[in-house]
Amino acid sequence: MKTIRSAAGATLNYHDVGRGTCVLALHGAYSTHDELSAALEPILSSSGRYQRLYPDLPGMGMSPPHISIQSSNDVLDLLEDLVDEQIGDAPLAVMGHSYGAHLVRGLAARRPRQVRGMALICPLMPGAMNPEPHAVVRSDIDPAELVDPRYVDEYFGYFVTHTEETAQRFNEAVAPSIGRFDGDAVERIMREWALAPDPDATEFDGPTLVMTGRHDSVVGFRQQMALLDRYPRASYVVLAGTGHALPHERPELTASLIDDWLASMTSS
């Protein structure tokens, strides 16, 4: 992994792979870049056209907490340092899952000319969340037989479709990130979630993809529909049979939607 350091001394560790148009992908809270890259790399690497930046957000994975990072706005400042160092003012596409999608919206609000498009996967909508009740919608297996016993509860709480395929994806993509965070640091930046400028009050007219899970018990799917009114080139998709683990539960459909979003930036 590579590292950048802010003027205040905060460090951000990130994985840099590929060459081409830069795609910055941000994972959710209490996770690491490994989870999101496991879902996105099969999609983004196939064309050979994209440089991918996968940072570990502060207090998660390999990026330690720092006294200067007290809020989500501070995290956004650090992400801007990464963009400045890695690509300058070159075109940028941004993607995020959950809390990462909240930060993506903030980055697009700060850099509307540079950010060519954004993909929001199960986006967190602070102050307006309406989670769905958690319910397993398909159960073809006994997870205890396929998932590490230490993580069975996490699988049950995250996935709503229980199959051999989703258990395998949990083992490969999610389990390696479990527990790799500083709880106090993450709670602090999540509590201070406001961004400047406010994404809800800032125009962005690039191609925007909003993907939600019909059974998402973390962020829900209803409030995200309001993003259609804020982004004139937004597509909104709600997928049945999925929850907050959408990219792991429906990887083929996720790939198809992201490929279409990437193509829309090329043609715009």
Show me where the domains of the chain are located.
2-129+179-267
Q: Count the alpha carbons within 13 Å of 2 in the hemisphere toward its beta carbon.
A: 11
> Which pair of structure tokens corresponds to residue 84?
């400045």
Q: Using an 8 Å Cβ cutoff, are 169 and 248 in contact?
A: yes
CA-based radius of gyration for the chain: 17
CA atoms of 50 and 27, how far apart (whole Å): 18
CA atoms of 123 and 101, how far apart (whole Å): 5
List Cβ neighbours of 101 (8 Å cut-off, separation of 6 or more): 26, 120, 121, 122, 123, 124
Q: What 3-state class would DSSP assign to 229?
A: helix
> Which pair of structure tokens corresponds to residue 95?
């993607």
What top-level class would CATH report for the domain 2-129+179-267? alpha beta
> Which pair of structure tokens corresponds to residue 179?
């527990």
Per-residue model confidence as pLDDT tens for the chain (268 residues): 999 999 999 999 999 999 999 999 999 999 999 999 999 999 999 888 999 999 999 999 999 999 999 999 999 999 999 999 999 999 999 999 999 999 999 999 999 999 999 999 999 998 877 899 999 999 999 999 999 999 999 999 999 999 999 999 999 999 999 999 999 999 999 999 999 999 999 989 999 999 999 999 999 999 999 999 999 999 999 999 999 999 999 999 999 999 999 999 987 6
Bridge-partner residues for 100, per DSSP? none
Model-level pTM greater than 0.95? Answer: yes
Residue 180 CB-density burial (10 A; 0-12 exposed, 13-18 middle, 19+ buried): middle
CA atoms of 101 and 63, how far apart (whole Å): 19
List Cβ neighbours of 43 (8 Å cut-off, separation of 6 or more): 254, 255, 258, 259
